Amino acid sequence: MVSLGALALAAALQGCSSKPVDKTAGWSPNRLYSEAKDESTAGNFEAAVTLYEKLEGRAAGTPLAQQAQLEKAYTQFRAGDKAQALATVDRFMRLHPASPALDYALYLKGLINFNDNLGLFGWLSQQDLSERDQKAAKESFESFRDLVTRFPDSKYAADSRSRMTYIVNSLAQYEVHVARYYYQRGAYLAAVNRAQTALTDYTDAPALEEALFILVRSYDALGMTQLRDDAQRVLVANYPQSTYLSSGFARPSTSWWKLW
């Protein structure tokens, strides 16, 4: 007969054998980093994030730990987990405000919020970025602006400036898109307000030509002939070759937002 003590020992041994084994226990920080990079390159993002987290703990207080934190954020971004990626970047900037990699952190934060992937349905409907949610675009712009202001010579500054221009054009086009929507539904005062917002808040955006045209048409519909004539003079002065007065709301054949 098996004794109770033997049964207890067997149960304990079985419990120990089922305990997960950390295969990285004896790995050096450099090996952890290398393996995490390999997993990320292979598209195994969850495994890569786990390894970067282990590296953060084992190399705490070193530049490698900071690098691991940024690499983890980028991996989370590539995996489509934008919320976690932003949280990781924000934590990095909070803990390491004087890091030499702060410009990259700002650039990465801008990239995470930046979105030019319209998807299949956006392509089918010729929808551009300006017709989507604007909150992330504005947050992306703020990150890029912070980068180019604080680190004008950063290797990420030139691309950041290009993306800022893209975002400004997108936000201006969004206002004009809404103004056009209101005009076509007879809400002329609302159309005027949104067109004026585009003209006031943004400069040198391609959409401003149409914003002026919407003002002309909306003031005309409201019977405000003096304001209509003023808006038309500004339109002609700034866009002497404008086709809006002859072709109406026909959209151009090329799209300003196709930059990448």
Identity at 247, one-letter amino acid code: S
pTM for this predicted structure: 0.77
Neighbour count for residue 82 (Cβ, 10 Å): 14
Mean pLDDT of 222-226: 97
Among 3-7, 22-26, 66-70, the minimum mean pLDDT is found in 3-7
Contact 172, 205 (CB under 8 A): yes
Mean pLDDT of 131-144: 83
Which residues neighbour 36 within 8 Å (Cβ) at sequence distance 6 or greater?
48, 51, 52, 55, 68, 71, 75
pLDDT value at residue 26: 82
pLDDT value at residue 245: 79
Three-state secondary-structure class, residue 103: helix
pLDDT value at residue 135: 84
Q: Per-residue pLDDT for 123 more than 70?
A: no
Q: pLDDT-based confidence at 125, cuts 50/70/90?
A: very low
Cα dist from 130 to 29, 117, 141, 183, 214, whole Å = 44, 12, 14, 18, 17
* Span 49-58, pLDDT tens digits: 999 999 999 8
Can you tell me the distance from the alpha carbon of 57 to that of 41, in angstroms, rounded to the nearest whole number? 22
Can you tell me the distance from the alpha carbon of 69 to that of 107, in angstroms, rounded to the nearest whole number? 15
Identity at 26, one-letter amino acid code: G
Identity at 166, one-letter amino acid code: Y
Contact 137, 103 (CB under 8 A): no
- 252 DSSP assignment: P
* Span 139-172, pLDDT tens digits: 999 999 999 999 999 999 999 999 999 889 888 9
Q: DSSP alpha helices (H): ranges in the chain?
A: 4-17, 29-41, 45-58, 63-78, 82-95, 102-113, 119-124, 135-150, 157-184, 188-201, 208-221, 225-238, 244-247
The CA radius of gyration of the chain, in Å to the nearest whole number, is 28
* Span 112-121, pLDDT tens digits: 999 754 333 3
Q: Per-residue pLDDT for 174 more than 80?
A: yes
pLDDT value at residue 224: 97
pLDDT value at residue 170: 85
Can you tell me the distance from the alpha carbon of 178 to that of 160, in angstroms, rounded to the nearest whole number? 27
Q: pLDDT-based confidence at 136, cuts 50/70/90?
A: confident
Neighbour count for residue 254 (Cβ, 10 Å): 6
**Percent of the chain whose pLDDT exceeds 90:** 65
Domains and CATH numbers, the chain: 29-79 (no CATH), 173-247 (1.25.40)
Mean pLDDT of 53-81: 94
